[in-house]
Structure 1
């Protein structure tokens, strides 16, 4: 099997935005090459005695792949069209589970390159992507979609064992962890391994109360929402812009003994879409989670309070240390109180509370 590789030169801050956008046009197997220092967990998984040290220059290369046919065309899998979802466009989880591969289309390399340049141009309007240059080459017969699994292993965050579908918990794991989160990252875009996600997980045991209502903005694969349910939340609502969240959440709900009755997913932008806001509901949430980029967290802050009960807690993450004060300032400007930060590695979580009436 042959693959065409599309290699984009960008910067570290734009990695997540570009990866999500490229998946929307059918590119797969995202690989990141940057010089961000390795975390302690990543170092433990390396089979070397000395970790190479390189100065972080902020440059990143993102590699994406499309299957190359004998006739020179490319096969890509696009998200389902709106009419292929539920009638209200919010996403039918049970239907999407049966059609999680999306719809396969055929494109020429030139057509796909045009799509990539169009998307990069759109991202430039709101995000610095650095060079944004593109190179293309062909690689042979490598299972890009599955080889990465050899590097993802079970790990424990607080009292939670997060374990992929191809591993089993040991007796030692079961002694250390009170909760087990089963995940198949092959269908997800959030595994819990990232430090920003772990920062949010640390807050769940502090702020989830029995039967509470949780709103998870940018829920992705539903890791945080489902863990909130494990900690005793009564119900969760998640919002996301990416319809790829539908099969990812469905799979994770199924693997962990929950159903779509426990976690409602709404596809759309909670910041400026009135229909989404009305469906989310006002002044009904005890805890709001938002593990997304500061470029979204800052405009989210003045909007999110209307969905929270008085005294509710707002947990934000996905923030590099140098951006922490900017996000905290947005919380203050929006009228939140009890603002504090938790740090882990290069990342910070900003937590605040909506004032009581």
Structure 2
């Protein structure tokens, strides 16, 4: 995977349109967004003054008046098709810049630092793995790649909180739309017996397996498949050969709604379906679909305009 080349897409916007543009990109399937905003930057500096003596004036100047969103796709046919899908209907202009390996290290890794989630999880980027782990936390090492989740997005954090609460030692997990594998690997780190993960992007298979290996998890416990469970009956049938204590879907409302019809035959009797990636204005549609398909919503989590729903059979 080292020879993959990347494109950096920069969307210039305004503070009042930032959330709307982010929501459009995320709803189109891009969850690896890097947001550069002067207001957030200055607030971050103010709230974390104890960690530095001074801030480089060059950095302050570079952030002045900035409100932009960056994301990354592979520099190939697949990546350009993804770019067309992500930017369809987007009113803002954007620029596309090819990256070298050095650019990638500078443009991407600098934004990610270890992240404490819930009561026990501690998501650690691979390049920070020498850092000490806080007492009582379970590390989850991650090298997300450019097109997959890192744990920084609100919907992923909501899902990870649910994974921490509902992972049962010795019981299996299914992760639909796995991306980097962060959710299913977290479940395995927390004691799940086995996990199966699926994503429509074939590149996710290698990324998820590599992240699992960073955490000492092999293919004896972890299976990653490429495919679309909504259109591939063979894959859907294969997954339904067993039932899972925890079924995860951190995708978007338009996928979760039809997917909810398959969930009852995937869940163990006391299992939990945890879905996220839902913009708050569409949460009621997802809730209706869950109920229609025989599920009872047991909890709703919200963060920064995003919603995660937990449901059970009956």
Same fold, TM-score > 0.5, yes or no: yes
Residues 139, 184 of structure 1: CA spacing in aligned structure 2 closer, same or farther, 3 A cutoff? Answer: closer
State the structure with more CA Rg. 1
Q: Which residue of 1 aligns with 2:109?
A: 149
Correspondence for 1:198 among 157, 161, 177: 157
CA deviations on 1:176-233 (whole Å, 9 max, x unpaired) are: 41x1111123466111122211111112232221221111010111111111111211
Give the Å deviation of 1:311.
2.8
Residues 43, 252 of structure 1: CA spacing in aligned structure 2 closer, same or farther, 3 A cutoff? Answer: farther
Residues 301, 256 of structure 1: CA spacing in aligned structure 2 closer, same or farther, 3 A cutoff? Answer: same
Q: Which residue of 1 aligns with 2:214?
A: 255
Correspondence for 1:11 among 13, 17, 21: 21
- Conservation of the 8 A alpha-carbon contact between 1:19 and 1:30: no
Give the Å deviation of 1:344.
2.6
User: Where do residues 66-145 of structure 1 align in structure 2 (5 Å cutoff)?
Assistant: 76-77=75-76, 119-120=84-85, 129-131=89-91, 143-145=102-104
Q: Which residue of 2 aligns with 1:159?
A: 120
CA deviations on 1:96-128 (whole Å, 9 max, x unpaired) are: xxxxxx9xxxxxxxxx7xx689x44x986xxxx
Q: Which residue of 2 aligns with 1:228?
A: 187
Give the Å deviation of 1:42.
10
CA deviations on 1:38-68 (whole Å, 9 max, x unpaired) are: 8x9898689699xx9x9x9xxx8656688xx
SS state of the match for residue 262, structure 2?
helix
Separation in 2 of the partners of 1:4 and 1:203?
Answer: 33
Residues 5, 320 of structure 1: CA spacing in aligned structure 2 closer, same or farther, 3 A cutoff? Answer: closer
**TM-score under structure 2 length normalisation:** 0.75
Residues 198, 31 of structure 1: CA spacing in aligned structure 2 closer, same or farther, 3 A cutoff? Answer: closer
User: Where do residues 208-223 of structure 1 align in structure 2 (5 Å cutoff)?
Assistant: 208-223=167-182
Computed over aligned residues only, the root mean square deviation of the Cα atoms, in angstroms, reads 4.1
- Conservation of the 8 A alpha-carbon contact between 1:187 and 1:251: no
How many positions carry a matched residue from both structures?
288
User: Where do residues 171-190 of structure 1 align in structure 2 (5 Å cutoff)?
Assistant: 173-177=133-137, 179-186=138-145, 189-190=148-149
User: Where do residues 36-47 of structure 1 align in structure 2 (5 Å cutoff)?
Assistant: none
Separation in 2 of the partners of 1:281 and 1:321?
Answer: 30
Gapped regions of structure 2 (runs ≥ 5): 1-5, 13-19, 50-54
**TM-score under structure 1 length normalisation:** 0.67
Gapped regions of structure 1 (runs ≥ 5): 22-28, 67-75, 80-101, 103-111
Q: Which residue of 1 aligns with 2:224?
A: 265
Separation in 1 of the partners of 2:101 and 2:283?
Answer: 40
Q: Which residue of 2 aligns with 1:72?
A: none
